[in-house]
Amino acid sequence: MSNARLMQGNEACAEGALAAGVRFFAGYPITPSTEIAEIMAEKLPLLGGTFIQMEDEIGSMAAVIGASLTGAKALTATSGPGFSLKQENIGFAIATEVPCVVVDVQRAGPSTGLPTSPAQADVMQARWGTHGDHPAIVLSPASVQECYELTVQAFNFAEEFRTAVIMLMDEVIGHLREKVELRENLAVVDRKKPSVPPDRYIPYVNDESRIPAMANFGEGYRYHVTGLTHGENGLPTGKPEVAGKFLQRLTHKLDPYLDRIQRWEEVELSDAELVIVAYGCTARPVREALGAARREGLKVGLFRPITIWPFPSGEIAKLGGRKFLVPEMNSGQLVGEVERIFGPKNIHRYNRIDGELITPGEILEKIREVMA
């Protein structure tokens, strides 16, 4: 049976969260993300879950972490200014390894910016917005279908790797309506529970997996959760050797899993002389421009990072020797990651920061210019 429906990116994101088993949402209204909260307010109590509108985004992020500690899959959604407010507690979730998903439907900033024109300017904030060294998983959907599927994936990553996962959407994708297939057979992952009795439970054990099993509050495993740097027993420590071991594990905990985490799409890359690296809403005009460019005999392809963090540098490195073009709706954020691999030579940029979309025509013109 086909489960195809016409819906908005934000709706598809909410549906994805429900398919992943979300049972708690805390949020604060902000365009262009509010539809997600509205859908959660309607659906969660029907499913035995909880929706709460908090007094601000800081509180929303805190409530989500609290709920997750009791075992609930928990979500919050916001945009620009709200994403800024959530940062301290996102760091708390990462440091205490409490699974949760944060949706940021990007709008043009800085500050209140151009409400609510599109932008892709939170790429670096999604990576480094909270202070201190930390791992990050950030997903960037380019279609309504992906809003659905990647939200399920975001929860799976959050649960498996015990971290805050960011769904970095944008105003275009969030408000775009297109056909989506609500596939029901998507794999759903739940956090690993302790396999030992409470007296043998080591809440932040540093073993090979780098991901400790997580007991939920109220299940008989009493332990301490703190944003202070802690040892394997969860208690704060000032000892450099204990702190160092914890921070090494935390900051490198995704390393053994990169192959499974990193996702990207390749379009017509095999003979491409110019590789366009584009993500989110900007990948859409690029896709259109490719056809026109090919008809002109220009050998162009698209590399679309889906996990923008961890950035798939290894894959892009395999494309060495070609020219690159990185169009972005910001003044050049992810392009720096491409330059980090190859240096600035032969890496071209195309940026718009006026709240207007990049058009296929603009991309085509840029392709011609770069390949001339």
Residues forming contacts to other proteins in the complex (CB under 8 A) are 23-24, 26, 45-46, 48, 50, 52, 54-56, 58-60, 62-72, 74, 88-89, 92, 217-220, 222-228, 233, 235-236
Closest distance to other proteins from the beta carbon of 16 (Å): 20
Which residue, 110 or 220, has its beta carbon nearer to other proteins? Answer: 220
Which residue, 235 or 269, has its beta carbon nearer to other proteins? Answer: 235
Closest distance to other proteins from the beta carbon of 215 (Å): 9
Closest distance to other proteins from the beta carbon of 20 (Å): 16
Closest distance to other proteins from the beta carbon of 61 (Å): 8
Which residue, 62 or 276, has its beta carbon nearer to other proteins? Answer: 62
C-alpha dihedral (65, 25, 164, 106), degrees to nearest 10: -130
Long-range contacts from 317-324, C-beta under 8 angstroms, 24+ separation: 317/341, 317/342, 319/269, 319/275, 322/272, 322/273, 322/274, 322/275, 322/346, 323/273, 323/274, 323/275, 323/347, 323/348, 323/370, 323/371, 324/274, 324/275, 324/276, 324/277, 324/348
In order, the DSSP letters of 304-371 are: EESEEES--HHHHHTTTTSEEEEEESSSSSTHHHHHHHH-STTEEEEE--SSPPPPHHHHHHHHHHHH
| Residues 9/175, Cβ–Cβ less than 8 Å | yes
Which residue, 65 or 276, has its beta carbon nearer to other proteins? Answer: 65
Q: 192 CB contacts (<8 Å, ≥6 apart)? A: 160, 211, 213, 214
Closest distance to other proteins from the beta carbon of 280 (Å): 29
Which residue, 52 or 341, has its beta carbon nearer to other proteins? Answer: 52
Closest distance to other proteins from the beta carbon of 153 (Å): 23
Which residue, 45 or 244, has its beta carbon nearer to other proteins? Answer: 45
Q: How many whole angstroms separate alpha carbon 124 and alpha carbon 311?
A: 12
Which residue, 132 or 344, has its beta carbon nearer to other proteins? Answer: 132
Closest distance to other proteins from the beta carbon of 254 (Å): 23
Phi and psi torsions of 244, nearest 5°: -60, -45
